[in-house]
Amino acid sequence: MEEQDKMAEAIKAGGEGFEDAILEYNVRIEIPETQGMSSVDLWATLLRHEGDDKWPTIIIGTPYRREMVGAMMGIGLFPFGYNILVFDVRGTGSSEGEWVSFGPEEHTDYAYIIDHWIPAQVWSDGKSGLFGGSYMAISQMMAAGQIACDGETGEPVHLKAMFPMAPMTDAYKDIVMHGGNLDLAFIPMWLGGVDMLALLPSTLYMGGENTTTGAAADEEQMMDEITDNLMDSWNQIPVHLSWFTDIEKMTDGQFFDERSSMTYWPDKHPEGNPYFGGDKTISPKLPTFITGGWFCIFHRGASNAYQYALKNHSPEDKALIMGPWYHGDAAGSTPGIKDIGTTSRMIARWFDWKIKGIHDPFMVEFPVMIYVMGADKWRVEKEWPLPDSRTEKKTLYLSRKKAQYNWKDWFSFFNYRKNFKLVEELGKSDLKGNAPKLIHNPAELHGTLSRSMVRWTAGALAMISQEFKYTYDKNIDAAMFWEDERLDEIAALTFTTNTLKENVEITGPITLKFWAKTDFEEPVSHAYIDKLQDSIYKDIMQLELRDDNNFVKMLMDEKDVQWVVELNDVYPYGRAKNISSGWLRASHRPYNPDESEDTTEHAIDPSYTPFDPFYDGPDKAPKLIKEDEFYEYAVEIWPTSNLFKKGHKIRISISASDYPHLLPIMVPSENEIIIDEDHAATLEFTTVNTDDKGKTWEWVDDMEGYSDVDQYLMEHQN
């Protein structure tokens, strides 16, 4: 307890607003058996205000140990008049049970803490808010579907607001299987990290209280509990590793549905969700402020959470900020726009308004704020996605003609034979010449020398360059290797427009549709393939090779194609800056389930609409392609916002690997893009108009009275 007292004194001395802080380092939360979920004892750290006054509580649930990530995220809200409760989710840190990684048990644990445990505490006024990034953001969206709501008004009884930073919504599509391709860079690293954190010395060594009796916990009993929890954490490691060797995890289904907050959306899956959530939905009366990043690993999830989960929310009860961030800054220092301190003050402003009822409305007239890359400016909008009144649908066509040569750009010479045109209209000359052919050689994988390497390691490499922007207002991106895709594009197919004669802003989702046929070849080097497989299993995943039932090995050995598409902004001297990406495994294409068995031309399912989050037939039942037959593909390129300036070019690159982001396919292939009168290849997107400025949208820099975006977030009212 002496160590705990020292920490409490350090917090009190931490500055203005912490003078009345009381730290309770180990607080037991006894979760009873509920909804068929087992009872468990969770452990939390409580930072509360001294005295008899009752305060609202901000709750953070984390698998990353409450004494580390969780406490760092929440402590900044304490001086604004909130108690802060950070707890280890079951099976992690010091808490009992099995870690289920977003499973149903976590949803109900949260709900019990919100609706029963916190309102019963003497220091609580019964009101609470949820806060946190990444895992802590996703958990909020899960908990919101299980909390108690008033039967007449639909308003949550105790949970009054949320602030999820960089959440996901679909565990299968958002993070584990991108377009049917297994994520290799982030998932194994993340799972292993959580398991290793659980094996660190327990905070229970510092003592604690039994909240049922109010008495200090028995030391011998506490030691037994520490030992039991440690052994549970050790024993669950093989379970988590088995997730990579379970054939059922290759396709979408119950395992992923239970871990997806979209089960609580107001619009349900048309076929129903038989696994969890049922008729429960996120209350439209629960104010929710979402942030996300254009290069964040949960970018798709944050966008969909706002569009679908908050569909029935009023403008004053929802907000969205999308910035030029990777996962680390989107989920951590967000908004971190220029002044990192803006983050806590803005979050407190939201909670003060929604939890305490202090009238301070902001982001109501324009609930959406996006960073427009290229223009490098912040813009506020009425809706996301942007409404039809703000956009115009555009189509560019992939051509067989070679792209415009640029003597200033070395790539224009070295990739000339694979650098084709991207045109506004298809002419006869665009259908002549050799068809674009993509050669997949497993010994020469794409992805390492690109933004992909940085993005799918959660932006770790970009921490320095991002910090330069936020702290010093200095952009050093051009000096970073991942800000130029040209080395990665060598031997890929590229389709590039002529030099733009005027600015073109692309904002929203993008879809690449094309026809292709494939020939598979024998592996070029069994020794190389075996070495790479061993590297992936033993070095990255810490797994031993198992039998043919191992679905990771199966994915690598299938005769399949991995379509990787990049949207790049090409600068006058050739630098190709990645803006967004899309991925599709050929077997997960949106195939027509009713097509004739005799057909050799396989068109897209007529019921398929790009970016429909409920379209999941191919993910539940993948279908391999056949050699030399024509297949139509639709690759969904994740939403973005970028101004392609006059003098720049728009480029699409197509490769067949994205390593180490995606588990590579080890079967070589030759893939011909079919471009003829009957088979067009199109890039479909939306451009943005400048109509009704000030009414439906506005540049933050142009708004009178605000010197920058930080001031706007802190002072603007509507």
Each residue's pLDDT tens digit, 395-406: 999 999 999 888
**Which pTM was predicted?**
0.93
Domains 2-360 and 393-445+493-523+556-688 equal at CATH topology level: no
Q: What is the model's pLDDT at position 366?
A: 96
- Nearest 5°: the CA angle 138, 614, 103 is 35
Q: What is the model's pLDDT at position 559?
A: 93
Pairing of strands 493-496, 419-423: parallel
Q: Could you report the per-residue pLDDT of 76-121, keeping only the tens digit for each? A: 899 999 999 999 999 998 899 989 999 999 999 999 999 999 999 9
What lies within 8 Å, CB to CB, of 53 at 6+ separation is none
Q: Which residue has the higher pLDDT, 153 or 197?
A: 153
pLDDT of residue 553 exceeding 90, the answer is no
Average pLDDT, integer, range 113-135: 96
What lies within 8 Å, CB to CB, of 230 at 6+ separation is 199, 202
pLDDT of residue 133 exceeding 70, the answer is yes
Average pLDDT, integer, range 416-427: 95
Q: What is the model's pLDDT at position 528?
A: 57
Comparing 4-18, 42-56, 167-181, the range with the smallest average pLDDT is 4-18
pLDDT of residue 407 exceeding 50, the answer is yes
Q: What is the model's pLDDT at position 237?
A: 75
Q: Could you report the per-residue pLDDT of 185-220, keeping only the tens digit for each? A: 888 888 888 888 888 777 776 666 644 445 555 666
Distance CA 173, CA 634 (A): 15
Distance CA 277, CA 283 (A): 13
Q: Which residue has the higher pLDDT, 511 or 458?
A: 511
Q: Where are the domains of the chain?
A: 2-360, 393-445+493-523+556-688, 451-484
H-type alpha helices, 244-363: 254-257, 299-304, 327-331, 342-351
Distance CA 697, CA 354 (A): 25
What's the CATH class of domain 2-360? alpha beta
Q: Percentage of residues in the chain with pLDDT exceeding 70? A: 89
3-state helix, strand, coil in the chain (%, to 5): 30, 25, 40
Q: How many residues does the chain have?
A: 718
Out of 79-88, 275-284, 528-537, the most confident range is 79-88
Q: Give me 4's structure tokens.
A: 């705990």
Q: What is the model's pLDDT at position 213?
A: 43
CATH of 393-445+493-523+556-688, one of 1.10.357.10, 3.40.50.2300, 2.60.120.260, 3.90.850.10: 2.60.120.260
Minimal CA–CA distance to 280: which of 262, 306, 305? 262
Query: Measured in Å, how far apart are the chain's first and last C-alpha atoms?
Result: 49
